[in-house]
Structure 1
Amino acid sequence: MKRFGLRSAQKTPPGLQGDGAAPSVPPAAPAEMAEMSFLDHLEELRWALIRGLGGVLVATIVAVFFREWIIENILLGPKKADFFMYRVFGIEAREFVLQNRTITGQFFADIGTIFAVGVVLGSPIFVYSLWKFVEPGLYPHEKQGMRFAAFFATFFFMLGIAFGYLVITPLALQFFASYQISPEIENEFDITKYFSMITFWSLGVGILFELPVVIYFLAKLGIATPAALRRFRKYALIVTLVLGAIFTPPDPISQVLVAMPLMLLYELSIYIAAVVERRQARALKAALE
């Protein structure tokens, strides 16, 4: 991608010339910087999206060949009483029945599973394609910042998926499987709802774990400040405890297992906002001097 040739035309601001002060010179522009029309940019963006979606398509096709293993060991894993996380938590797991209640239920559950796995596996390719579109128009320090953000965004997303699947999913399934308002009502889960909830808990927590990255960008824009985040800390604690109470069995250990990582992420977000604020203050002070 080539950037519109605007930055390369920057000159010394009026008032700094001839007054004896060192002129404020912008950093060197990227070598690739050359003027391109708006339509040229759209064309490059179109091809970047095509390459990214092509990567997702390839990952989806690969998932087709491993669909049986994925369904038996990953999606149906938390349903089984011998799932290894139940031994980690010391839970006497309860198996439950899955039923298909619609004609197309198993078909769409299969298709949805393959698509979800393809999106997760192909997302790095998609992000990389967008990065290659944006990269030529960035200064070196901007590239470094974006690489930093991309790495931690991917890290926290994958960490959140793992936490959602290995912690939230088995605890929530056992809670809902054992919850009864009457002994006369048996819990039998619909296969489509079951697959959807596992996907929701895993990907949803993955997105929730992006909180530090979101706070980083909001702090850079001056929207999120460490002082404001500290003021809302008690409300964040209440929200995490409520989430822990909803998605876990009614014992304090399970609730703490869920609430603690979320609070740690919130505290990490406060620290990140404070670091950004200090750096911006130092940069402003240096500019004024």
Structure 2
Amino acid sequence: MTGDLPEAKKPKDRTASMSFLDHLEELRWRLIKGLGGIGVGMIIAFFMGDFLVAEVMLGPTQSNFFVYQLLGIDAIDLTIQSRKLPGQFFTYWGTLIVFGGILGSPILFYQLWSFIEPAMEKSEKWKSIGHSAFITFFFLLGVAFGYFILVPFALQFFSQFQISDAIHNDFDINEYFSSLTMWVLSCGIIFQLPVLSYFFSKFGLLTPEFLKQYRRHAIISCFVLSAFLTPPDPVSQILIAIPLVLLFQLSIWISKLGVRKRNKELEQAFSER
């Protein structure tokens, strides 16, 4: 047998013959697996519950919190109270759910991306793990920014703000937990800007020229947001605003990569015809 072996046929797209209900079933199982990853994260958080509550969740309420010392913030201790009967119960389990969600976010992002990827080009499918890591990295980076940068400034600003000396700031544990969670997770979502910039640019929905056109507006918005969330001093405002400005500038650079990738793929597609 000296002849050349027959060329193997490429496997067909597994979603080519799937109906709408089949896609819904696929999405359901992807969500179940993603929520399973969050469940595993909650189990890990449960065994670390005392540490997460005392050191992580309640850490910023103490004036000796190490972040205050690193950032040079003149911090005070916060008085936290539980004004509702199940207040501490809900806060404890809420802490486990939030930390479980953060720990399990890589699995959730991977499952969601695995559902989206069949709609993309075949040459992109092998990159699903890389894309999921790309999304997870910026989400966790935003969570870290929210906890280590935004929370200390915002917490101390609101705790020391008084309209009258007759009013004493005592914070409810549920309100404190809700604010902390909102700030941290909001930063995780905001830091998806480079991710959205890449994919929108790759699909032809965004260009770096558009981002450059509104760069001055974005910079002003970053400083306005930092001024609202920090005490009225220029140092803290700059510490918050500069990372946001750099994030927008990074989105412009990543948008260029997305456009370059799109143009390369279009040239390759037309050359093969």
- Which residue number in structure 1 is paired with residue 226 of structure 2? 244
Question: Greater shift after overlay, 263-272 or 57-66?
Answer: 57-66
- Which residue number in structure 2 is paired with residue 58 of structure 1? 40
Question: Greater shift after overlay, 122-131 or 212-221?
Answer: 122-131
- Which residue number in structure 1 is paired with residue 5 of structure 2? none
- Note if contact 1:81-1:95 (Cα within 8 Å) is conserved in structure 2: yes
Identity %: 46
- Note if contact 1:149-1:213 (Cα within 8 Å) is conserved in structure 2: no
**Structure 1 segments unaligned to the other structure (5+ residues):** 1-27
- Which residue number in structure 1 is paired with residue 175 of structure 2? 193
- Which residue number in structure 1 is paired with residue 83 of structure 2? 101
Tell me: CA distance 1:34–1:215, structure 2 relative to 1, closer, same or farther (3 Å). closer
- Which residue number in structure 2 is paired with residue 76 of structure 1? 58
- Which residue number in structure 2 is paired with residue 260 of structure 1? 242
Q: Are 1:114 and 2:96 matched, yes or no? A: yes
What is the CA-CA distance between 1:129 and the residue it aligns to?
A: 3.4
Q: Are 1:89 and 2:71 matched, yes or no? A: yes
- Which residue number in structure 1 is paired with residue 215 of structure 2? 233
- Note if contact 1:56-1:118 (Cα within 8 Å) is conserved in structure 2: yes
Tell me: CA distance 1:133–1:91, structure 2 relative to 1, closer, same or farther (3 Å). closer
- Note if contact 1:160-1:208 (Cα within 8 Å) is conserved in structure 2: yes
1:255 corresponds to which letter in structure 2?
A: Q
CA RMSD of aligned residues (A): 2.4
Correspondences of 1:203-222 after superposition (within 5 Å): 203-222=185-204
Tell me: CA distance 1:280–1:130, structure 2 relative to 1, closer, same or farther (3 Å). closer
- Which residue number in structure 1 is paired with residue 125 of structure 2? 143
What is the CA-CA distance between 1:59 and the residue it aligns to?
A: 2.0
1:234 corresponds to which letter in structure 2?
A: R
- Which residue number in structure 1 is paired with residue 157 of structure 2? 175
Q: Secondary structure in 1 aligned to 2:171?
A: strand
What is the CA-CA distance between 1:282 and the residue it aligns to?
A: 4.6
Tell me: CA distance 1:287–1:139, structure 2 relative to 1, closer, same or farther (3 Å). closer
- Which residue number in structure 2 is paired with residue 14 of structure 1? none
Question: Greater shift after overlay, 44-53 or 212-221?
Answer: 44-53
What is the CA-CA distance between 1:270 and the residue it aligns to?
A: 1.1
**d(CA) in 2 for partners of 1:104 and 1:132?**
39
Q: Secondary structure in 2 aligned to 1:155?
A: helix
User: What do residues 170-219 of structure 1 show as CA deviations (whole Å, max 9, x unaligned)?
Assistant: 11111111111111111111110101111111111011111000111111
Structure with bigger gyration radius: 1
Q: Secondary structure in 2 aligned to 1:224?
A: coil
What is the CA-CA distance between 1:288 and the residue it aligns to?
A: 5.6
Question: Greater shift after overlay, 100-109 or 76-85?
Answer: 100-109
- TM-score, with structure 1 as normaliser: 0.82
Correspondences of 1:5-44 after superposition (within 5 Å): 29-30=10-11, 33=14, 36-38=17-19, 39-44=21-26
Q: How many residues align?
A: 262
**d(CA) in 2 for partners of 1:41 and 1:80?**
50
Tell me: CA distance 1:283–1:64, structure 2 relative to 1, closer, same or farther (3 Å). closer
- Note if contact 2:106-2:133 (Cα within 8 Å) is conserved in structure 1: no
- TM-score, with structure 2 as normaliser: 0.86
**Structure 2 segments unaligned to the other structure (5+ residues):** 1-8
What is the CA-CA distance between 1:49 and the residue it aligns to?
A: 2.5
- Note if contact 2:110-2:132 (Cα within 8 Å) is conserved in structure 1: no
- Note if contact 1:30-1:138 (Cα within 8 Å) is conserved in structure 2: no
- Which residue number in structure 1 is paired with residue 3 of structure 2? none
- Note if contact 2:39-2:100 (Cα within 8 Å) is conserved in structure 1: yes
What is the CA-CA distance between 1:107 and the residue it aligns to?
A: 1.5
2:156 corresponds to which letter in structure 1?
A: Q
What is the CA-CA distance between 1:142 and the residue it aligns to?
A: 0.7
- Note if contact 1:159-1:209 (Cα within 8 Å) is conserved in structure 2: yes
Tell me: CA distance 1:127–1:274, structure 2 relative to 1, closer, same or farther (3 Å). closer
**d(CA) in 1 for partners of 2:211 and 2:23?**
38
**d(CA) in 2 for partners of 1:135 and 1:219?**
17
- Which residue number in structure 1 is paired with residue 6 of structure 2? none
Equivalent position to 2:29, from 26, 33, 47: 47
